[in-house]
A and B are shown apart, each in its own frame.
Chain A
Amino acid sequence: MNEFTKEVLRLAGDEVKTCIQCGTCSASCPTAHLMDNSIRKLVKFVLEGMKDEALNSRSIWLCTSCLACTVRCPRGIRPMAVVSALKQIYEAEGMRNRDSIHEEIFNRHIKERGRVSEFFLSAEYMLRNPQSAAQIISFGAELIPRGKIDIEIRPDSIEGRDEVKRIFEELGGA
């Protein structure tokens, strides 16, 4: 068992070892049809110590955290926790892609202001992903005169932002 496997097991639970590869998780996943590797396969990559295959799967960024896999797993494993662990390791390794960037911005906004501003999230995401932005910027421009995008001057915040920050700190999340 290599270090990668050990780390995922530490984050997602030792019971991941009891996976019987039945495929219930993949079959329950609402975004499975978009994934390159199914959740079942991600678990298998983990158990086989196949770090590159696991971390480079786009699938881990397509998880909506709906938890259907976790509710239905007959072995009581939390496949979603495996996905979360993979995301964490990905970022900890300093790896970046447009999906991870989106997630990173999203999390930071929540952490700092307690809510997400569509305008600022999109703006920041586009700035950091000019290539992706180029494809959708004309579409976005069309939406503005129709009032579909709420252009904020200053990002909105909630009361008790410190509480939200503390939640992040206590859970050790990014």
Chain B
Amino acid sequence: MRIGVYVCHCGLNIAGVLDPQDLSEFAGTLPDVEVARDIQFTCSDTGQETIKEDIVEHKLDGVVVAACSPRLHEPTFRKVIADAGMNPFLLEMANIREQCSWVHMEEPARAQEKAKDLIRMAVAKAALLNPLVGEVMPVSQDVLVIGGGVAGIQAALDLADSGLRVYLVERKPTIGGYMALLTDVFPTNDCSICVLAPKMTDVYNHPLITLISYAEILNIEGSVGRFTVSGIKKARFVDESLCKGCINDCAAVCPVEVPDEYQFGLGKRKAIYMPIPQSVPLVVCIDPQACVGCGLCAEACPVDAVKYDQEPEEFKFDVGAIIVATGWKPFDPARKEEFGYGRYKDVITGLQMERLLNAAGPTRGEVVRPSTGEIARSIAFIQCVGSRDHTVGNVYCSRVCCMYALKNAQLVKEKDPDADITIHYIDMRAGGEGYEEFYERAQRLGINFVRGRVSEVQEVDGGLVLTYEDTLLGRFRNSRYDLVCLSTGLEANSDADVVGNILGLAKRPDGFFEIAHPKMRPVEAHIDGVFIAGCASGPKEIQVSIAQGGAAAAKALRLLSRGELALDPVTAMVDTDKCIGCKLCVEICPSKAISVERTAMVDEASCKGCGTCAAACPVDAIDMRLFSDEQILAQVRAATATKREYPFIVGFLCNWCSYAGADLAGTSRIQYPPNMRVIRVMCVGRVDPSFVIEALRNGADGVLISGCRLGECHYDKGNYQAYQRVQVLRGVLEAVGVNPKRVKIIWCAASEGEILAKEMRTFVDELKEIGSIGDELKGGSA
């Protein structure tokens, strides 16, 4: 190997603490180093030119830049060496600024020794680097949108308007979702279906959208850019191409009546029915459970569209990306027995109230008491039914119930200004544009607000009596109402479990699908090429669901617009001779990138390069590009070559959180003792126990492993994997006579430079107490 080493002064940022000239002279003595220089500003044009000239003149096949963090300038220097004709992956950086000169300003001599070790480690890795080529893969530009609620509709329209073909798969006979069933919607009280129906029609008429309604997805194979989707379109027993959507001719003659699920049990429908008047597609559907097969509808149909012998149809197509917009399901308030839902007729849910208020609903917009059919003059709304409630397992706030209760209360009050309406709440939450104003409007209309959760509802002499404490007055009270509306919360849609399992989507403890980052990646799933929009990832109002539908469409478009994907070459690779096909890697891979037939195979398009599989493989058959066992072990040996510190620590920091946190300690000039030599890994899940053992065997007094905080791993659960492995390893170490406290695992976010520094100080003290590793390992067989 012919390696060039460039030590940066970075003005005085590095040179103010370290001696770059001494460092470059030291680098010149290392094996494989052809040329070593110190440069004022390596990232400047002159610095870049120097490297390029050296590459040509000295025929370099490896470059080490000892300067700032690779998280800052690795892309810069990769481009520099690529410009000079080298493979960009033959670069290694030694972080002597953020993790050395800036954090050991009071101890320049020890910092200088640390910098030498960091350069020795970088050169050792550089000597083992291989050229890597990221492959380019052609992709399908079609997109599957699962779920035809408002989020899915928006995603489909945005994609199709951008020129991509969209398959919109909906399990119900019509698209529109829950929004199509609501009456007016907050905060402007415009009619829900009036604003949604045009979008539904646009979906139906769009030449680039294939709408597959009344269908189920049965399987999805493949990965980003080339998913193969298959499923089944259920039999409607009506020919979609013939039905004219006249509604009444068939349903009018049907003798069977069943509760109408689109009225939430408040009305009836026939066995042959149009789900809602604005259904898209505008085609009736026969409920096979209800139909008695009398044949009257077939006789009545003027176009002979009824087909009793219709069979389910299979479908199959390829797409490049998938948007999951599977929505939510309402909380079943019968689970809160104290509120009497199901027992008392006049206790209804928020969705039933929507239907009562809806001009197209079962009462044509009159809010009546279901028990008598009389207009309800006093109405109580009980908030947080099924939300913020550990007893039903829903800890979260459903986010929309305060607003829809305010809205429904306003609608009643507008119809009947003398109606006595009270909202019983825990907290009123009206966070959103125009929402607080909406709350104030409700107050001005004379709607009463009582803070305090209702403990129970009882039917007394034909009225409903609520028992509660008015917590603002500090008094226990009973109040009587004609009608009680339970503001039921939103739950994860269990109907979406099948799709979630097929795709391997992670779920949060609240049951909704987990997004790739709780803040920074709100519409991306952990799986490449899969996006999540709307209530599938948690309760949301219509406005936010639409925004997410659009955002997911933009993400899919960004992914597929070029028709090809450049693959990151930092992936896992399997030595098929060694692989025993145990499938441990399949279980562990967060990206579902590994499959096993006889031996394991890595789908490089899906692999994100965390390396958890490589660390887990019981026969070392999996290795990582750019972070191979050989390369990391070489870094460990180079780190422990001189050990001019006591205690001496080798650190493994994950790229996304802890390494970034260590960089932040640098930019914040948080000082900590220079005892640790850091090896960067993509994820702590990559840390193979053999790396730790190698460090201890070579005389490190301690090993610190630092990953993302639990629940925040960039690769979902790599930090949990690392934690388990460390626990096992500690047991092994103890068995061979090594103090298990020498191996420590911590969690540190990218924003927690102070925590990393504090942990460093603590660990140094702890190791001083334990003492030098001395002979602890030499006698053992580990």
| Interface positions of A (Cβ within 8 A of B) | 1, 14-15, 17-21, 40-41, 44-45, 47-48, 75
Contacts and interface: CB of A to CB of B under 8 A. Distances in A.
Nearest to B477: A48
Contacts of A14: 444
Contacts of B451: 21
What 3 A-B pairs come out closest when comparing CB atoms?
A: A18-B443, A17-B443, A18-B440
Given A41-B473, A44-B472, A17 B444 contact: yes
B428 interface: yes
Interface string B463-476: 00000001011000
A44 B440 contact: no
Given A21-B451, A45-B473, 16 more contacts: A17-B443, A17-B444, A17-B446, A18-B440, A18-B443, A18-B444, A19-B443, A20-B428, A21-B472, A40-B472, A41-B472, A41-B473, A44-B472, A47-B448, A48-B470, A48-B473
A75 B440 contact: yes
Interface residues on B, range: 10 to 19
Contacts of A19: 443
A87 to B, nearest CB: 22
Nearest to B445: A17
15 contacts: A14-B444, A15-B444, A17-B443, A17-B444, A18-B440, A18-B443, A19-B443, A21-B451, A40-B472, A41-B472, A41-B473, A44-B473, A47-B448, A48-B473, A75-B440
A20 B427 CA distance: 10
Contacts of A18: 440, 443-444
Identify whether the interface residues of B are mostly helix, strand, loop, or mixed: mixed
Contacts of B428: 20
Contacts of B444: 14-15, 17-18
Nearest to A16: B443
Interface string B442-458: 01101010010000000
Contacts of B440: 18, 75
Contacts of A44: 472-473
A18 B438 CA distance: 11
A38 to B, nearest CB: 11
B405 to A, nearest CB: 16
A48 B452 CA distance: 14
A142 B473 CA distance: 45
Contacts of B443: 17-19
B308 to A, nearest CB: 60
Nearest to A40: B472
Nearest to A47: B448
A21 B473 CA distance: 10
B721 to A, nearest CB: 48
Nearest to A50: B473
In this complex, which of B440, B451, B472 has the most chain A Cβ atoms within 10 angstroms of its Cβ? B472
Contacts of A40: 472
A14 B441 CA distance: 12
A92 B443 CA distance: 28
Nearest to A41: B473
Contacts of B448: 47
A41 B475 CA distance: 12
A90 to B, nearest CB: 20
A1 B446 contact: yes
Interface string B560-591: 00000000000000000000000000000000
A20 B430 CA distance: 12
